[in-house]
Chains A and B, each alone.
Chain A
């Protein structure tokens, strides 16, 4: 879209600065600039794909659904983490668009990072329902109130925007990170789950929730508007009181 609508009114010439890294050449990452005529309705992803299709096909980036659901195209855009497919370029200030890979994870190529450390932390908190009771003939029931208790943390799409916006995670890759805690929260506060105590024990480790010092970068980075810092504090509260109710 970025190229085909170049003649339309409202298009604007963007200088796109992209942090490039080529594993075959090695060395330090370098900045490269591209000129793109962007339509007001273009998203950052459209601009990047326009560069890839028309200017430099070697540009490496991930995207799958391109509609803010799969969480593949998390990147650092003008210094803030976000999904390239959810950000319209006309909401950005100035005519320079800076795009970098998300921080704290090893870069494989250009904007593509190795997500393995991120998913290892995710797996470490047992992100699945644990219930040893015999399965009922219908669903395991819960009230609307019980469902609402963890509704917000079910929205996570594991894009890693929060974890890679977190300064304690930048410095310390062993820190389990906000995304893993959000996904632990989703089951700790689920009335049907029986492994809350185990998850709390995992997160009580020195590299668990206590590395969070409420910077709030995760909350502002989340493209799903999850109150990540609040969820982390609720997990800490459950550890302190030994209860999953917030009224205790």
Chain B
């Protein structure tokens, strides 16, 4: 006969359950991401315009933003908690554990805040995309003439350190 008890609760139980769920969700998010960026598309096609179009699309944009938001936050939390578990096996003294936990969670917080800010506050810069298209056209035309590298590309190259 199964007996019914009060569920145990507490941080460690929550952390364990979170790892199960986030791990499972990340398998779909991360493999889906790899499939889209490396099989449906490839590194030649993936650029600012690709990401900007996806995030700024009228109806589906928020889905892609939600995908990327979930992926970065779950990955950082999942990785951070896994690191805590493993380091706890080597760092036994309480004061040192406080230090390692502080470092892990501060690092995780910075990454999540930066990632979330970038994804949520993103605005598509159409002018930049247009300029890039114009530059690429210039390059093709000049290459066709068999001349030296395009003059139009020079301002961009000049900005590099």
Q: Do A and B come from the same complex? A: yes
Write the residues of chain A forming the contact surface with B, with a CB cutoff of 8 angstroms. 146, 167-168, 170-172, 174, 191, 196-197, 200-201, 204, 206, 208, 210-211, 213, 236, 238-245, 247-248
A244 to B5: give the CA distance in the assembly, Å.
Answer: 8
A79 to B159: give the CA distance in the assembly, Å.
Answer: 59
**Is B43 an interface residue when CB atoms closer than 8 A count as contact?**
no
Q: Known contacts A210-B12, A236-B16; is A243 also within 8 Å of B4 by CB?
A: yes
B window 1-53: CB within 8 A of A: 1-10, 12-13, 15-17
Q: A168-B89, A191-B1 are in contact. List 10 more A-B contacts (CB 8 A).
A: A196-B3, A196-B5, A197-B5, A210-B16, A211-B85, A242-B6, A243-B2, A244-B5, A245-B2, A247-B2
Write the residues of chain B forming the contact surface with A, with a CB cutoff of 8 angstroms. 1-10, 12-13, 15-17, 85-86, 88-90, 92
A236 to B16: give the CA distance in the assembly, Å.
Answer: 9
Docked-complex contact B13 and A240, CB < 8 angstroms? yes
Q: Which of A168, A196, A204, A243 contacts B12 (CB 8 A)?
A: A204
Q: Which of B1, B2, B8 contacts A239 (CB 8 A)?
A: B8
A146 to B3: give the CA distance in the assembly, Å.
Answer: 12
Docked-complex contact B13 and A204, CB < 8 angstroms? yes
**In the complex, what residues of A have CB within 8 A of residue B7's CB?**
239-242
A242 to B7: give the CA distance in the assembly, Å.
Answer: 4
Q: Is the interface of B mostly helix, strand, loop or mixed?
A: loop
A136 to B89: give the CA distance in the assembly, Å.
Answer: 47
Q: Which of A172, A210, A238, A245 contacts B92 (CB 8 A)?
A: A172
Docked-complex contact B3 and A240, CB < 8 angstroms? no
A211 to B86: give the CA distance in the assembly, Å.
Answer: 9
Q: Known contacts A172-B88, A240-B13; is A197 also within 8 Å of B6 by CB?
A: yes
**CB-based nearest B residue for A242:** B7
9 interchain residue pairs of minimum CB distance = A245-B2, A171-B89, A242-B7, A239-B8, A210-B12, A204-B8, A242-B5, A197-B5, A244-B2
**In the complex, what residues of A have CB within 8 A of residue B92's CB?**
171-172, 174
A72 to B82: give the CA distance in the assembly, Å.
Answer: 35
A63 to B2: give the CA distance in the assembly, Å.
Answer: 40
Q: Known contacts A196-B5, A197-B5, A204-B12; is A240 also within 8 Å of B89 by CB?
A: no
User: Can you list 19 residue pairs at the A/B interface with Cβ under 8 Å?
Assistant: A170-B89, A171-B89, A171-B90, A172-B88, A197-B6, A200-B5, A208-B12, A210-B15, A213-B85, A236-B16, A239-B8, A239-B13, A242-B6, A242-B8, A243-B2, A243-B4, A245-B2, A247-B2, A248-B2
Q: Which of A208, A213, A236, A243 contacts B5 (CB 8 A)?
A: A243
A210 to B12: give the CA distance in the assembly, Å.
Answer: 6
Q: Which of B1, B4, B16, B90 contacts A146 (CB 8 A)?
A: B1
